[in-house]
Structure 1
């Protein structure tokens, strides 16, 4: 875990935050599009498409949230290292 006493003052790269936001938006918005998957066929083990499609999104969403978490924490860790390096450089002078 990151230590809260070290500020994250390093420059932020927007890329990881944008990717994490897109992944989270997909995980939230796609299951809300009920008319797209509100059908009976195809069935999987006798279960209508509507139900197994929703259950399929549970592990997909968990994976997307996990990837988002890893991206953001990796960027946070990088920013803390930059802040530590800058602070250490100031203390040496």
Structure 2
């Protein structure tokens, strides 16, 4: 059984400008000058280690924002 044209879902488009935000968590960790140091320390951990965790939080945040804005634009 086919659905009437009025009930069909619109074609999905991935041309959301918010998708560009996903480049941030990819490009930022590729800049060695950000973590090429021992100081400052956080709870005794050198910069490199706790900054890796901060990059994960950055990636999760950017992905969440892009997902939420894409969901709102598609009308779900």
TM range (shorter): 0.7 to 0.9
Q: Highest CA radius of gyration, 1 or 2?
A: 1
The match for 2:19 is: 21
TM-score under structure 2 normalisation?
0.72
CA distance in 1 between partners of 2:34 and 2:58 (Å) = 17
Which structure 1 residue ranges, 5 or more long, are not aligned?
A: 79-93
1:42 aligns with 2:40: yes
The match for 1:7 is: 9
**Larger RCO (CA within 8 A; separation ≥ 6):** 1
CA distance in 2 between partners of 1:38 and 1:22 (Å) = 27
**Moved segments of 4+, more than 2 Å:** none
CA RMSD, 1 decimal: 2.2
CA distance in 1 between partners of 2:53 and 2:43 (Å) = 13
- Output one character per residue of 1:8-45: Cα deviation in whole Å (capped at 9) or x when no partner: 25xx7x6xx11x22320111110121233121111111
The match for 1:31 is: 29
Q: Which has the higher helix share?
A: 1
Which structure 2 residue ranges, 5 or more long, are not aligned?
A: 1-6
